[in-house]
Every structure is written in structure tokens, then in C-alpha cells.
Amino acid sequence: MAPGQGRAGRATGGSGPRARAKARAWPAARRWAAAALLGLGLASPAAAQVSGVSDNTRLRTLNEDVAYSLFLLTNGGFTSAGTIDYRDDTLAAKINVYTLPLRLPLQTGLLGPIELRLTTGYGEAKTTSQQVLPGLGGVTEREYVSLLNFRLDLGRPITLLPDLVATPMVGLGTQHWSGKLDRNPLGGSAVPADRTTFWTDALLAELAMIVEYRYRWGAVNIRPGASASFINLSTLDGRATITPTAPDPPARGKATVDADSTILRAALRADGPLGYRLGEAELRWQSFVVGNYSTSAIGLFPWSIELGVAAGVELGAVGRRLVGFDPGALYLGVSYITGANFSGVRANFGFRF
């Protein structure tokens, strides 16, 4: 999950005398940031608006980092499922991620060969952090954030040189963020306990360029490649509610997300025959290494590296007979992902740009 430029998120508004008290103001800013920053605070400013709260940059940043990292991990281009553990001096996070990109190659008379991709991703993050607020005392915050992502991409492979293929792509999708954040005082802290719940829907637009060199060495395919993706998020709708300690009434408002991000990837993939067949299908092995980097200043980890191995079958003629087109290969394997202060092991179903 990491990239972008600039800190994002700003909470504004006013509602009720108690809501304007300093001890009640700082948590709300984080909540609204949570919704907007859920929206990822990608590269450009993300704005969160909700009544009765004021800004707190330090707390808002944590939500930016968690949300943005979750976004990066769920927005990958290959199928995977697994858990990532992150830990630093003030934060512990466990992020579960599941992605499934489906591909449909088509031959058209006007545009020639094109490729449709439908990517579904789901992720959830559970975090625990501790903060000490000057003049108020310490607090523990536990946050749960979930993200559901759907995106449809259209690409047109272009042969630049023999074995060198560039694929420009455009994509459109939607994301749904939801979650809750519980705050509890430590010891004799003057900070009151409260809970924030939120949800945000956003429209996702993407422009991407993939360049891949397709080299064949005997029976082994070797494919180094790189990609750059620019992603824009804009708000469709969103709501947030803070439920403070009684007798204060809940504070409600609208959460919004507007953000940009640029994500860079580089990878090397190799695959070859295992020397066995499963019916008509040839059994194959695959290994890959892929690196991700985000140009953003936010995120728990701005870069990650993943190494994986898998085994599977080339569906080829079997796929064409069953579904009318060649779906490529079906793999199952395991990969290890690591970056600054985090690591994880997850299942993969083969890698493709």
C-alpha cells in the first residue's frame, strides 16, 4: 500500500457549546479525517466537513496513513489474499486484503485487440494507538476501517518493438469506506470517551500505462515490466456521527473525499512448464518479484516489495471451449510482502500486469 503529495484533510463546522470545548474538539477532527482520509488523502488535498469539530493535524495524519495504506494494498492488479502486520512506536495495525481482477481479451474490427478488466477488492484494517494530549492526558484509540472497491478498466495493447508491448488503460470505479473509532482515556486523563462511525462513497477514475517486455528463453517466458497509474477520487456521498459521553447529544455531519495519487510499479515475472499435464492442460510454475512506490508523502509505508511463487495450468483451448475465449493461466501460490515496519504472507493466484 504507498504514495501522493501533501497532507490531506480538514474538518470545519460548529454545533453546540460542549462540542466546541477543547477536550471534545480534537477527536472529531480525526473522525472526519477518517472518512476523508479514508478517502485516502492520496496526493492532493482531501477535505472532510462535519459539524461541531475543529482540526488536529497529528491525529488526522494517523487516519491518512492507515486509510492510504489500505487503499494501496487493495488496489493491486493481481489476485491475492492475506494479512499484513504493521508496527511502530505508537501504532499497531493488522490489514487484511483480498483482490480479484478478471480479464477478458477481445478482438474488435475498429480498435483491434483490447482488454477488459474488472477488479474487485476488499480490505479491512484494525489499529490500536496511544496518544498523549498536552494538558488533557493520554488516550487509547481503536479503529476499524473497511474498504470495498470495484473498478472496470479498458486497455489497448500496442506493439512498440518485437516483444515490447505498451498498454494504455483507462478505468472507472467506485469505493465504499466504512468504519468506527473508539476513544478511551488512560488513567486519570481528562479526555472523554466517545465513538465515531462513518461511511463514504467515492467515484474512482484512473489513467495507467503498462510497458512489458515479453521474452522467451527456450520453454521459459521472462517478462520484466513497469507501470504508472494516476488515480482521482471524488465524493459521491458520506456521513459521520460522533457519539460522546452522556449527556452530550450525538454530532452528525457530511464526510467528503477529494484526492489524487500516482502509483509506480516495477516487476519481473518468469514462468515455465513443470513437465506434467492435467488432462489437456499443461502444468506450469511461476515466480515473480514486484515493487510498489507511491509519490505521496502520506501512508504507513511509501514502498513495498513482494516475492511470490505459484503453480498452475494454462487453460488455452480448454478455456476457449468452456467460456468462448482464452482466460490465460490459473495459478495458486504464496508470496511474502515487506516494507518499512511491516511484513506479511499471503496467497496469490499468479502475477500479471
343 inside domain: no
* Contact (CB, 8 A) for 351 and 330: no
280 inside domain: no
Please, which pLDDT band fits residue 339 given cuts at 50, 70 and 90?
confident
315 inside domain: no
| Ramachandran assignment for 130, one of left (phi > 0), alpha (psi -120 to 50 degrees), beta (any other) | beta
Range of the domain at 77: 22-272
For 45-90, how does the pLDDT look when each residue is reduced to its tens digit (9 = 90+)?
233 333 233 334 333 444 566 666 776 676 666 667 788 888 877 7
Average confidence score pLDDT of the chain: 74
**Verdict on whether the full-model pTM lies above 0.85:** no
Which residues, in sequence order, are bridge partners of residue 336?
Answer: 307, 345
292 inside domain: no
Q: Among residues 191, 303, 313, which one has the least CA distance to residue 244?
A: 191
241 inside domain: yes
CATH number at 206 reads 2.40.160
More confident residue, 315 or 159: 159
225 inside domain: yes
Domain count, the chain: 1
Q: What angle do CA 221, 226, 229 make, to 5 degrees?
A: 140
Please report, for residues 3, 50, 214, 217, 307, the alpha-carbon distance to residue 225 in angstroms, rounded to integers and kept in the order given: 20, 44, 9, 16, 15
CA dihedral 214, 293, 2, 42 (to 10 degrees): -90
Q: What angle do CA 199, 202, 205 make, to 5 degrees?
A: 160
For 315-328, how does the pLDDT look when each residue is reduced to its tens digit (9 = 90+)?
766 666 666 666 66
Q: What angle do CA 31, 35, 37 make, to 5 degrees?
A: 100
